[in-house]
Structures are given as structure tokens and as C-alpha cells.
Amino acid sequence: MINVGTHDVITRRIRIRPGPGSPGSEPDGVWVNGDAYNVIFDHCSISWAVDENLTASYGAHDVTIQWCIISQALCEAGHSKGWHSMGLMFSSSNDDQSQPQNLCVDPPVRDHLVPSAFPMPSITTLSALDAYDKVLTNAGVTVPVRDAVDNAVVQSVQNNLGGVIDDPSDVGGWPTLAAGTPLADTDHDLDAR
């Protein structure tokens, strides 16, 4: 599990697949919490957690998840609540249950709300079909190559298949990954060690 409890963190191109834990454990894949902010997950593949694959809660804010594959949370894998397959969860501190669910801003920071949106630069948009193709081609860890797990997830989306799993072995288990060749240290930052 990766636990982010600080600020200015970029996590890029890693696979996070904890699998079922020991009896009584309920591992998340990623947990972003507390005072965490300015956190980016980019081109990551996150799957096979017992609780949530990725959770951002308890005060975490300004969290960006882009070009990630978040898939196959484990259903009957020993969670204390029983059936519990959860992909992604964002929540506020909702210890204070007196606020309606549609108010997702904690009371201490509501004075930062503005009456109208700030002007935004123009953005490039894609049609739904173009976005679908682009996401299926580029999401997840694709460098140096996509692994068998993500390939299977993409194929299940393309073929309208899929289902809920209880254990990584239900979909072939952890793949064997080639070590690859590290890139050259062109800026020589490793020489300082």
C-alpha cells in the first residue's frame, strides 16, 4: 500500500496491486489522507485491493488522478464487512454527518468559496468515441509496455466483458515482468550519491 500524507507528490508509471491481505487486514492500494495536497497520480495501474483501490479522504485536497487504470478491486477477500469490492473513494471528513451530502466542502474552508467561477483558459475536447479510444490506448502503465493484467482489463472494456473477482488468481495472478533497461543518467544526479 502507498500512503500519501504530505504535499507536492507526483507518482508516475507504477503498478500497485496489493492482493488479499492476512486475516483481518483490509489493505487499500493507495491512501491519500490528512494534510495531503497537490498530489498527482499519472499513468498508474492500481488494482487488487481488499478495501478501496484508491482512497482520498480526511482532509486531502487538490488530488489529480490522470491516465490511470483503476480496476478489479477484490470482492470476497476477507473484508470485515463481507462483500466489499471498491474501486475509488473520495470523501471529506462526512465525521460531521449534519451536512447534506452535496456539500463536499468542510466548514473551516468554506470561506474560500467564491461566488462565481474564475475564468479558465480554453481546453481541447474530444468526442466521446475519440476519448474512449485515447483512454484505452494510453491509460495505465504503458512504458516500457503494458502488462498482461492491464491488457486484459482493456480487452474486457472493448468487448463489454468483465466481472467482479475475489482473488488475483481469478484473472491469472501477478504477471512476470521483464526488468527492462534503465535510462542513462544524462544529468548525472546519481553521481552525487
Note whether residue 62 is domain-resident.
yes
The pLDDT score that the predictor gives to residue 183 is 82
The pLDDT score that the predictor gives to residue 50 is 84
Q: Tell the residue number behind the cell numbers 486475516, with chain if given.
A: 23
Note whether residue 119 is domain-resident.
no
Note whether residue 72 is domain-resident.
yes
Closest CA to 135 of 65, 87, 85, 72: 65
Note whether residue 25 is domain-resident.
yes
Look up the pTM and report it: 0.77
Note whether residue 183 is domain-resident.
no
Distances (CA, A) of 161 to 22, 155, 156, 158, 167: 30, 8, 5, 8, 18
The pLDDT score that the predictor gives to residue 119 is 87
Note whether residue 111 is domain-resident.
no
Note whether residue 185 is domain-resident.
no
For 48, the grid coordinates are 487488487
Closest CA to 107 of 115, 97, 117: 97
The pLDDT score that the predictor gives to residue 92 is 62
Note whether residue 145 is domain-resident.
yes
* Structural domain that includes position 72: 2-92+124-170
The pLDDT score that the predictor gives to residue 105 is 64
Number of domains in the chain: 1
Task: Give bridge partners of residue 39 from the DSSP assignment.
Answer: 9, 63
**Tens digits of pLDDT across the chain (193 residues):** 899 999 999 999 999 998 887 666 677 789 998 889 999 999 999 999 888 899 998 888 899 999 999 999 888 766 667 667 778 888 765 755 554 544 566 666 667 777 777 888 888 899 999 999 999 999 999 988 999 999 999 999 999 998 888 889 999 999 998 887 888 889 888 776 6
The pLDDT score that the predictor gives to residue 173 is 93
The pLDDT score that the predictor gives to residue 101 is 42
Per DSSP, the chain holds a count of helices (H) and strands (E) of 2, 10
